[in-house]
Amino acid sequence: LRRNPGEAEFHQAVREVFDTLGPVVRKHPQYVEAAVLERLCEPERQIIFRVPWVDDAGRVQINRGFRVEYNSALGPYKGGLRFHPSVYLGIVKFLGFEQIFKNALTGMPIGGGKGGSDFDPRGRSDGEVMRFCQSFMTELYRHLGEHTDVPAGDIGVGGREIGYLFGQYKRITNRYESGVLTGKGVAWGGSLVRTEATGYGTVMFTQEMLRTSGRELDGLRVSVSGGGNVAIHAIEKAQQLGATVLTFSDSSGYVVDEAGVDLALLKDVKEVQRGRAADYVARRPGARLVTDGRVWDVPVDVALPCATQNELLVDDAKVLLSNGVLAVAEGANMPTDPGAVALLQESGVLFGPGKAANAGGVATSALEMQQNASRDSWTFEYAEGRLDEIMTGIHDRCAATAEEYGAPGNYVLGANIAGFLRVADAIVALGVI
Ligand code: NDP
pLDDT at 252: 97
Q: Spell out the per-residue pLDDT of the chain, length 433, in tens.
A: 789 999 999 999 999 999 999 999 999 999 999 999 999 999 999 999 999 999 999 999 999 999 999 999 999 999 999 999 999 999 999 999 999 999 999 999 999 999 999 999 999 999 999 999 999 999 999 999 999 999 999 999 999 999 999 999 999 999 999 999 999 999 999 999 999 999 999 999 999 999 999 999 999 999 999 999 999 999 999 999 999 999 999 999 999 999 999 999 999 999 999 999 999 999 999 999 999 999 999 999 999 999 999 999 999 999 999 999 999 999 999 999 999 999 999 999 999 999 999 999 999 999 999 999 999 999 999 999 999 999 999 999 999 999 999 999 999 999 999 999 999 999 999 999 9
- Ligand 1 lined by 308 (C-beta under 6 Å): yes
Which residue is catalytic, options 114, 170, 184, 355? Answer: 114
> Which letter does DSSP use for residue 296 in this model?
G
- Ligand 1 lined by 330 (C-beta under 6 Å): no
Smallest CA-to-CA distance from 326 within 343, 301, 346, 308 is with 301
Instruction: Return all residues near 269 (Cβ < 8 A) that are at least 6 apart.
Output: 275, 276, 279, 280, 283
Query: How many angstroms separate the alpha carbon of residue 84 from the centre of ligand 1?
Result: 9
- Ligand 1 lined by 307 (C-beta under 6 Å): yes
Q: Which of 230, 267, 271 best tests ligand 1's pocket when mutated (most atoms within 8 Å of CB)?
A: 230
Query: How many angstroms separate the alpha carbon of residue 154 from the centre of ligand 1?
Result: 7
- Ligand 1 lined by 332 (C-beta under 6 Å): yes
* SS3 assignment for 157-190: ECHHHHHHHHHHHHHHHCCCCHHHCCCCCHHHCC
Compute the distance between CA of residue 191 and CA of residue 373 in angstroms, rounded to an integer: 12
pLDDT at 1: 74
Q: Whose CA is closest to atom 23 on ligand 1?
A: 155
**Going from the N-terminus, what domains does the chain have, and what CATH number goes with each?**
8-178 (3.40.50.10860), 200-357 (3.40.50.720)
* SS3 assignment for 333-346: CCCECHHHHHHHHH
Q: Whose CA is closest to atom 4 on ligand 1?
A: 228
| Ligand 1 atom closest to the CA of 307, numbered from 1 | 7
- Ligand 1 lined by 329 (C-beta under 6 Å): no
State the complex-level ipTM: 0.98
Known binding residue 99? Answer is yes
Active site residue 93: no
Interaxial angle between packed helices 159-173 and 126-140, expressed in degrees from 0 to 180 and rounded to the nearest 10: 50
Query: How many angstroms separate the alpha carbon of residue 230 from the centre of ligand 1?
Result: 7
pLDDT at 2: 83
Compute the distance between CA of residue 275 and CA of residue 277 in angstroms, rounded to an integer: 7
Query: How many angstroms separate the alpha carbon of residue 249 from the centre of ligand 1?
Result: 10
Compute the distance between CA of residue 288 and CA of residue 279 in angstroms, rounded to an integer: 11
272 neighbors 290 (Cβ within 8 angstroms) = no
pLDDT at 57: 98
- Ligand 1 lined by 151 (C-beta under 6 Å): no
- Ligand 1 lined by 121 (C-beta under 6 Å): no
